[in-house]
A and B are shown apart, each in its own frame.
Chain A
Amino acid sequence: METSGTVVITLEGLESLIGLLKRRGYRVIGPTVRDQAIIYDEIAALAELPRGWTDEQQGGLYRLVPRDDDAVFGYAVGPHSWKKFLHPPTELLWTAERTEKGLRVTPAPLPDERFAFIGVRGCDLHAIAIQDRVLTHGGKIDPHYRARREALFIVAVNCAVAGATCFCVSMQTGPKATGAYDLALTELGREEDHRFVVEAGSEAGRVVLAELPHRAATEKDIAEAEAVVSATAANMGRSMRSDDLHELLLRNLNHPRWDEVAARCLTCGNCTMVCPTCFCTTVEDATDLAGHRISRSQRWDSCFTMDFSFIHGGSVRASPRSRYRQWMTHKLATWQDQFGTMGCVGCGRCITWCPVGIDITEEVAAIRDSEQH
């Protein structure tokens, strides 16, 4: 059956989608409840999705709470981001062995995992695009990332709920999923006539969709789907004017606000770990006691550590003030010079998962407001 245009599938259709992707050799990754949060992990069936759950979020606070309906995607983003799979926390780069003929270096094989992500939000689609730009274009290409990225199948979701720390509207990344997805779902009628409006965004998406039980979408379905997205857009938890950030921040590098935030900042690195665009890594070598084997691996690093800016003579960014400022000005200003895009997609994770609730939107607003006086 040939499929073009927008269609509607049911819950059973969603179940078939998971099964179909698995049969096609994908490792299907989706949201699921663990340790009182909605995280991303491998899923085998619809039942593993967080049906009937939502989250409450604030600066430094996240709570998993039950919904009063059966929504499958009725929550915002959680502590994990998809970079956990595409750009994992540790990655072996090469191993070497001392042999009679000298050192034999063996590069780590390229990954052959094919991921299918289910439930990628607008902000996270943009975050993946930003990491694509950083890790697969220009200077340094990460072949491991590229291999996983090329094999990836993305099922996006248009957000029906905005978290209290979300500000994708300000960053123009959501709540409607735009960009490189294979399929995009909008969940409708969570209590009665529970269904999903589905759009295909690629040839691979159209092929998969054609194999699922579906019907053509009516005008009513489409209007309802649009209403979901506009309602979410009207309910953003946070906002941040973003058109003047480059100039605003760079002309305020000595603003007293940096000292105030530094008094609160723990320099623990949590914001960079949860951020879906942060890509920095360090390499670590391991030798065995006999000195016969060496391995080098790459691990997520953070601009909040002292080692990050360590050069001969010490750390360049020794003060917490300089580290917080580096992080924020990179995200919002100098990233544009470096990569031609923003480094922030407005997902709000850094606000929620900061152990002391530091809020990037509030920090920008404080600096901006001080200029009005």
Chain B
Amino acid sequence: MPSKNAKPRLAVWKFASCDGCQLSLLDCEDELLAVAQAVEIAYFPEAVRSALSGRYDLSLVEGSITTPEDAERIREVRRRSRYLVTIGACATAGGIQALRNFADVAEYAAVVYARPDYIRTLATSTPIADHVPVDFELRGCPINKRQLVEVISAFLAGRRPAVPPHAVCIECKRNGNVCVMVAHGTPCLGPVTHTGCAALCPSYNRGCYGCYGPKETPNAPSLSRWLAALGMDARALQRLYRTFNANAAPFREESERHGA
């Protein structure tokens, strides 16, 4: 991938987000050493607004687009990157801050900030792929560090990352879990959620909250019908789909079908 002998250059960029996904990278204690040996890493925190320089073999982008400046900055990042991979629910779906897409931002700003007139923000929080072409989207809130290492290894090796887009259920069953929905009557978003977490919550007898967003070909209306029959009301159904991936189309549309 890089020019001869030089280490590949990896950049980590931050947009509107909580830093949780970057922490996943720092959390790769054992792997980090190998990452640092294999690549040259540059961090660009949100605060760095100075003129960008250099070109990067792989850009990891965390966060969503919520300001006009960021909408401009991401174009510059794209121009400077050979591969651009978005990481986390913010970058791939708009994040929890995309709840604003269902409300009036000016009203929110007036409630939250003493001087709302200082705030310059867009009416929506949108994923990076709405603004520039993206080579790979790594889902999760936060991302799974094992998957992050897999994506970096795959891009370094020039192969497709082994990050399947199927339901959480498949990993849940491979783990040998007893299904919390069928055996306990606990609502679970696993059947419509993209795998990635190794079915963390059902492994602890909790229903899935959908951190990784919609799976390939999700059928949320069918799951909602079943959950409604189990006793979940319209308001609860709406909230179920309105979390970290509220703005991902299949979850957004499903939440809009329920509740007031």
Contacts and interface: CB of A to CB of B under 8 A. Distances in A.
Interface of A: 34-37, 39, 60-64, 79-80, 84, 89-90, 263-270, 273-274, 284-291, 299-300, 302, 304-307, 318, 320, 352-353, 355-357
B222 interface: yes
Contacts, number: 136
Nearest to A84: B176
B139 to A, nearest CB: 15
Given A79-B178, A266-B192, A300 B226 contact: no
Contact of A305 (B170, B188, B192, B205): B170
Nearest to A354: B182
Contact of A289 (B35, B159, B162, B225): B35
A61 B35 contact: no
A40 to B, nearest CB: 9
B34 A355 contact: no
Contacts of B242: none
A306 B165 contact: yes
Given A63-B183, A353-B182, A306 B162 contact: no
Contact of B153 (A267, A289, A357): A289
Interface string B183-206: 110001011100000000000010
Interface in B2-40: 31, 34-35, 37-38
Interface residues of B, number: 44
B170 A273 contact: yes
14 contacts: A35-B183, A79-B178, A266-B218, A266-B223, A267-B219, A268-B167, A270-B173, A273-B169, A273-B174, A289-B31, A306-B216, A353-B182, A356-B225, A357-B226
Contacts of B205: 35
Contacts of B183: 35-37, 62-64, 79
A355 B37 contact: no
B169 A268 contact: yes
Please provide the 9 A-B residue pairs with the shortest distance between their CB atoms, ordered closest to farther: A273-B173, A89-B174, A268-B191, A35-B178, A268-B167, A266-B191, A268-B169, A37-B178, A289-B34
B150 interface: yes
Contact of A39 (B178, B216, B218, B223): B178
Given A35-B183, A79-B178, A306-B217, A287 B167 contact: no
Given A34-B178, A263-B222, A306-B166, 20 more contacts: A36-B184, A60-B181, A63-B183, A89-B175, A266-B191, A267-B167, A267-B219, A269-B166, A269-B173, A270-B173, A270-B179, A284-B162, A286-B153, A290-B37, A290-B38, A307-B164, A318-B217, A352-B182, A355-B188, A356-B191
B34 A290 contact: yes
B124 to A, nearest CB: 29
Contact of B162 (A63, A286, A290): A286
A269 B170 contact: yes
Interface of B: 31, 34-35, 37-38, 149-150, 152-154, 156-157, 159, 162, 164-167, 169-170, 173-179, 181-184, 188, 190-192, 205, 216-219, 222-223, 225-226
A355 B164 contact: no
A267 B215 CA distance: 10
Contacts of B157: 287, 291
Contacts of A80: 176
Contact of A79 (B152, B174, B179): B179
A36 B188 CA distance: 16
Contacts of B149: 289
Contacts of B177: 35
Contact of A265 (B159, B182, B219): B219
Given A286-B162, A289-B31, A356 B170 contact: no
A266 B193 CA distance: 10
A302 B156 contact: no
Contacts of B181: 60, 355
Contacts of B173: 89, 269-270, 273-274, 300
Nearest to B31: A289
Contacts of B219: 263-267, 320
A357 to B, nearest CB: 8
